[in-house]
Amino acid sequence: MMELITKTTEKETADVQMIEGTVNINGVKLNVYSFLIDHTLIDSGSQTLLEDFQPWFKKQRIDQVFITHNHEDHTGGVTWLQQEKGIPVFIHPDSVEKCKSLEETPVYRQLTWGSRGAFIAQPFSVKMTSENYTWDIIETLGHTQDHLSFYCREKKILFTGDLFVLPHTKAILNSENMQDTLASLRKVLTFDFEAIYCCHAGYLKNGRAMIIEKINYLEKILAKSKDLKEQGLTIEEITAQIFPKKYAIEQFSKGEWGSKYIVNSLLNDQVSG
């Protein structure tokens, strides 16, 4: 029998209010954040966390919603927010039409995050504004092909969605492109920031250093993977050497997540866009 337990924690820094939601299903624990800055909400959590997030949403003034990408753990509260507050929602231009209908997700993701409802979204401009701030909307492909990061010029802080998550990634979705992720990590370093707000790691005061650490980590994996490939090893054999441990998410997701996808996508030199 599947048992889903949820909880939330409210946090804040000098510039940003945030809420962290955690779902625990039979011992598998996952978390996601929503952030509020200058009356702009960044991502909305999941449908399974919506009831827990609603009191926090209700007490906030929210003028607009910025969505980093069209995954159910980031968009699960949007339909309710739009109905409750009638506020505009912005997303990557490629996902505007997709958001008008319900999203189909694998069963294991429905169990943890629920499903995203239909909502009306507007496409981002390259530059956006909130009440007091100016925003650069940065295309940061890799995790998805509609992934965006948001840079607040006045505060010099970066909201990275799922671009960062962990400095030493061990498993990814089979649809991710780690060459694109590397390019996106390098791209955001051209902006002037130190702190980042990650939708799974939360607030990282040393975010710039952590992004550099992740770049170095992926570059080392790429170099080792190329060396082993030149020795004649297969993707599975390379993966076994670099990532000898099996992770619970691989079995829980029935193979949609895995370490081999890191190796495979790094060895594929195709970078999108």
Residue 223 falls inside a structural domain: no
Residue of 74, 261, 67 lying closest to 181 (CA atoms): 261
The domain tally of the chain equals 1
The span from the CA of 257 to the CA of 263, in Å, is: 13
Contact predicate 267/221, CB 8 Å: no
Residue 212 falls inside a structural domain: yes
Residue 68 falls inside a structural domain: yes
Residue 247 falls inside a structural domain: no
Domain harbouring 119, CATH code: 3.60.15.10
What is the span of the domain harbouring residue 191?
A: 4-217
Query: Per residue in 82-116, pLDDT tens?
Result: 999 999 999 999 999 999 998 888 888 888 999 99
Residue 95 falls inside a structural domain: yes
Residue of 149, 153, 223, 225 lying closest to 184 (CA atoms): 149
Residue 59 falls inside a structural domain: yes
Query: Per residue in 164-195, pLDDT tens?
Result: 999 999 999 999 999 999 999 999 999 999 99
So what's the pLDDT on residue 107? Answer: 85
Contact predicate 142/184, CB 8 Å: yes
Q: Which residue has the tokens 């909130």?
A: 130
pTM of the model: 0.95
Residue 51 falls inside a structural domain: yes
Query: Per residue in 127-136, pLDDT tens?
Result: 999 999 999 9
Q: Is 185 exposed, middle or buried (0-12, 13-18, 19+ CB in 10 A)?
A: buried
Residue 260 falls inside a structural domain: no
pLDDT < 50 stretches in the chain? 273
